[in-house]
């Protein structure tokens, strides 16, 4: 049916993009167009098109998907891989519509009954106020995602509650073992020994604090902005009888007192700092570690053309997130007086990590829906599928950066070889 709703939309999209629509398309009237051997995008109602009309590209697709106005039949990862390839370089590759194309779009929208007021964004989108990266706004940004409830994260994560890229010595390794190996790798890189004092900036649910105290005998302080994380970590410390050796605080890195530590770690927290504030963050890390002390940052990166997390991530998962090329992060650390000694790229490890979380989400789908609702669960599904693709396609990376604060004579005290390997 060449004049069906689905064919009209597929033809318009193909003309706009300069090629055939890479996925199947089925519309609310039951008509279908596009390749039959590909996942099928299902537009369940006209509202799905209005979402795309008022927010073209990634954000409109995300809003339509999480509300259920748009769905995908077949392999979701493959479907979104094909769809997002069209918007990867920007909204429809930033191609500008000419007068003729605009006229065609308006006529098609009117013919299909799509024209109307923009649909309300889903309630799950972050709506922050106040000055960017102020103490109050940063606390709200962290609460949006990390205070979703400990029960949710306990369903999705392994027993360590590590919410960051694991380190797989083999792709077939269990996530629990890979997270243990990641924590152990961090401790070895930091050269932790009994009696040393460790600071964990952005300690999450306490995975590194507990591991370092139990297996390396350190005393530790962890800080977090999340009330839910604070409660969970304190419970874990009591469970492991570590309350006399590990302290956890609800505190911003900008509020840390001047009390140097033997080692400092910050695992996937620097993404929340913001570009303008990153020099102050790096200076704080430098100030908090003793001369000769080591620093380990695990941090995600993104290309210079897309320094944020992307429209979906910034609205639904990590508002105000900033990611930059890893080289620019190194510049910040060196400007603060730290000497960068090692950069360990772990991009493929995040693909395997996120796929494991996604599989757990699907196994526990009914329980997740019971906790956060269908829309919230679809946010998480899209987040994990999209995250795995971003790392798979090298649109995002993650690195462990090992640095040291040299003493007044420039001596680092670092070994000449990679002793942690």
Domain locations in the chain?
5-111, 135-404
- Which of 338, 251, 329, 238 shows the shortest CA–CA distance to 293? 338
- Does the pLDDT value for residue 358 go beyond 70? yes
The 10s digit of each residue's pLDDT in 95-107 is 556 777 777 877 8
Q: DSSP class of residue 314? A: I
Place of tokens 């390396």: 216
Homologous superfamily (CATH) of 135-404 is Vaccinia Virus protein VP39 (3.40.50.150)
> Which positions ≥6 away from 278 have C-beta within 8 Å?
270, 322, 329, 332
pLDDT value of position 17: 65
| Burial grade of 294 (CB within 10 A; 0-12, 13-18, 19 or more) | buried
Nearest CA among 11, 2, 6 for reference residue 28: 6
Query: What distance in Å separates the CA atoms of residue 415 and residue 365, rounded to the nearest whole number?
Result: 48
How far CA 39 is from CA of 4, 113, 234, 333, in Å, comes to 19, 26, 46, 44
Question: For 207-237, what is each residue's pLDDT tens digit?
Answer: 999 999 999 999 999 999 999 999 999 999 9
Per DSSP, the three-state class of 363 is helix
Closest to 21 measured CA to CA, from 4, 5, 39: 39
The 10 Å Cβ neighbour count of residue 357 is 19
pTM as predicted:
0.93
Structure tokens at 31: 């008509």
pLDDT tens by residue, 311-333: 899 899 999 988 999 999 999 99
Location of structure tokens 């797989």: 168
Which is more confident, 295 or 415?
A: 295
The structure tokens listed for 396 are: 């995002």
- Is 68 exposed, middle or buried, given 0-12, 13-18 or 19+ CB atoms closer than 10 A? middle
Residue 86's pLDDT is: 61
Alpha-carbon torsion angle 232, 234, 235, 238, nearest 10: 160
């Amino acid at each position: 049916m060449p004049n069906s709703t689905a064919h009209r939309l597929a033809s318009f999209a193909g003309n706009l993009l300069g090629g055939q629509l890479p996925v199947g398309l089925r519309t609310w009237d039951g008509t279908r167009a596009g390749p039959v051997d590909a996942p099928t995008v299902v537009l369940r109602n006209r509202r799905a098109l209005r979402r795309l009309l008022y927010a073209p590209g990634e954000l409109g697709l995300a809003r339509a998907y999480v509300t259920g106005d748009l769905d995908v039949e077949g392999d979701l990862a493959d479907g979104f891989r094909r769809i997002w390839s069209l918007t990867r370089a920007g909204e429809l590759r930033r191609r500008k519509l000419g007068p003729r194309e605009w006229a065609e779009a308006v006529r098609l929208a009117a013919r299909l009954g799509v024209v109307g007021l923009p649909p309300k964004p889903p309630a799950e989108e972050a709506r922050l106020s106040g000055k960017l990266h102020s103490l109050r706004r940063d606390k709200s940004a962290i609460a949006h995602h990390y205070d979703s409830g400990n029960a949710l994260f306990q369903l999705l994560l392994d027993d360590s509650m590590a919410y960051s890229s694991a380190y797989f010595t083999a792709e077939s390794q269990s996530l629990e073992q890979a997270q243990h190996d990641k924590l152990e790798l961090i401790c070895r890189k930091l050269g932790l020994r009994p009696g040393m004092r460790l600071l964990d900036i952005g300690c999450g649910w306490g995975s590194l604090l507990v591991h370092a105290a139990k297996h390396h005998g350190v005393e530790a302080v962890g800080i977090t902005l999340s009330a839910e994380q604070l409660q969970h970590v304190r419970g874990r410390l009591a469970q492991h009888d570590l309350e006399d050796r590990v302290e956890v605080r609800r505190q911003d890195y900008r509020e840390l007192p001047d009390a140097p530590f033997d080692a400092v770690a910050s695992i996937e927290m620097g993404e929340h700092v913001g570009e303008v504030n990153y020099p102050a963050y790096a200076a704080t890390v430098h100030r908090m570690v003793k001369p000769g002390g080591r620093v380990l940052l695990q941090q995600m990166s993104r290309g210079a053309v897309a320094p944020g997390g992307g429209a979906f991530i910034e609205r639904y998962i990590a508002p105000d997130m900033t990611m930059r090329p890893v080289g620019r992060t190194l510049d910040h650390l060196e400007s603060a007086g730290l000497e960068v000694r090692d950069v360990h790229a772990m991009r493929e490890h995040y693909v395997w990590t996120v796929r494991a979380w996604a599989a757990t989400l699907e196994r526990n789908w009914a329980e997740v829906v019971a906790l956060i609702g269908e829309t919230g669960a679809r946010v998480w599904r899209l987040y994990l599928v999209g995250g795995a693709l971003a790392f798979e396609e090298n649109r995002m990376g993650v690195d462990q950066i090992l640095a040291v604060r040299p003493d007044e004579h420039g001596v680092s005290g670092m070994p000449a070889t990679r002793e942690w390997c």
